[in-house]
Structure formats: structure tokens, C-alpha cells
Amino acid sequence: MALTDKPVTTFLDELASDAPAPGGGSVAALSGALGAALVSMVCNLTVGKKGYEDVQGDINDLLAQSEALRRKLIDLLEEDVKAYTGYSVAAKMPRGTDEEKAERKKAMQAALKVATDVPLAIAEAAVKVMDLCMPSAEKGNKWAVSDAGVAVLMAEAALRSAALNVLINLGSLKDEEFVTDRRAKLEGLLEGKGVMRDEIYDYVVSKL
């Protein structure tokens, strides 16, 4: 059964347990999906509403993007669990002979690359959700402006949570070219997003 098909309380129980997955990476993806869903909610409360005739095209466009990102982030949540499982399988490979040791090490490094690229993709999707928050706060139903504010808080928490999961895996990777490349990508994604969060939050507060 896919993790996201389980009840919310079961998800939380499994998260709280000492089972290695779901963990912080899955929470990052879920937080991004919650942000995307809130943008969708703001849009759905604006579609066809009186007083919002001029923004219907923009709102439908935002909604299509937020729904695509929500699906993407749910897929990435499941991929994150699989990536962790892949690493665990590699770590349990036999290490009796030198050849086995080398094989295991190689498999673990390959699994760590996957376990790095999944949260990096979560971070990318989270930034895309953040990009939808100001337009939905400005153009969406004014009664839902606080929901656009919550959306940016969840999306930015998703980005930073994903970043921690990228960094923890980069720390164990030996391929320096890969590490340098992914670290640069992550820094590009993080840049200015704390300020962006504060700006959207302050805008929302000014409308309450």
C-alpha cells in the first residue's frame, strides 16, 4: 500500500516510530504537497466568483500548475521512501570478501545518489509552489488570503527540509563532481527564499 493511501494518523504513527522510513524527506514532500493544495484551494474559491471576472484566466493557470505540483510532490514522497529502501538493501549486501565489500560500497554510493536527487527534486518543486503563492494571494479570493500565506510557509519549510536531506546524503558521497554539482544546485534553489517567505507573509498579514 502506498504510504499516502494510509490514514493521516497512520502516516504520523509510522513517522514517529523507529522505522527508518518515512522520515524527514517524506515530510518535506508532504509539506510541499500541502502548500500546493492550499494554492489550489485559493484558486478553487476564486473560479467563477463574482468580482473576480478579470482574473479567471490567471487563476485557472495557477490552479493547473498547483495541481500538477501536488501530484508531483506526492509521487516524490513515494520515491523518497523507495530511495531509502534502496539504500538499506545496498547496506545489507554481503561484505565477506574484498570483492563483496567493493560491490557493496559501489551499490551504496549509487543508492545515495538517488537518495540525494529525490529531495533535490522535492526542493525544486517546493520552489515552484512558492512562486505561485504571491499571485494567488494577490489575485485570489480575498477571504482565502490567509490560506495563500499558509501555502508559502509550508512550501518554504518543504524546501528547507528537503535541503537538509540533500546535505546529509552529500556528506557520505565520494564522487566530488556530483557533490559539487548538487551543492551548487541546492544553493541556487535556497537563495533568497527566506526573504521571499517573509515578504509574502507580511503581505498577507497586511490584508488581514
Binding residues vs a copy of itself (CB under 8 A): 3-9, 11-13, 15-18, 23-24, 27-28, 30-31, 33-34, 36-38, 40-41, 44-45, 47, 66-67, 70, 74, 144-147, 149-150, 153-154, 156-157, 160-161, 164-165, 167-168, 170-171, 201, 204-205, 208
Q: What are phi and psi of 23, to 5 degrees?
A: -140, -150
What residues contact 136, with CB distance under 8 A and at least 6 apart? 39, 42, 43, 59, 62, 66, 148, 151
CB of 55 to a copy of itself, least distance (A): 16
Q: How far is residue 205 from each of residues 48, 83, 153, 159, 195, measured CA to CA in Å?
A: 26, 39, 13, 22, 15
Q: Provide the sign of the torsion angle of the four alpha carbons 122, 128, 133, 139, taken in this order.
A: negative
CB of 31 to a copy of itself, least distance (A): 7
CB of 12 to a copy of itself, least distance (A): 5
CB of 109 to a copy of itself, least distance (A): 17
CB of 118 to a copy of itself, least distance (A): 14
Query: Which CB, 16 or 103, lies closer to a copy of itself?
Result: 16
- The DSSP letter of residue 69 is H
What residues contact 79, with CB distance under 8 A and at least 6 apart? 118, 121
Query: Which CB, 15 or 103, lies closer to a copy of itself?
Result: 15
Indicate the residue type of 149.
G
Query: Which CB, 56 or 100, lies closer to a copy of itself?
Result: 56
Query: Which CB, 50 or 97, lies closer to a copy of itself?
Result: 50
First to last CA, the chain: 42
Query: Which CB, 100 or 202, lies closer to a copy of itself?
Result: 202
CB of 104 to a copy of itself, least distance (A): 18
With H, G, I as helix, E, B as strand and everything else as coil, classify residue 192. Answer: coil
- The DSSP letter of residue 6 is S
With H, G, I as helix, E, B as strand and everything else as coil, classify residue 82. Answer: helix
Query: Which CB, 48 or 102, lies closer to a copy of itself?
Result: 48
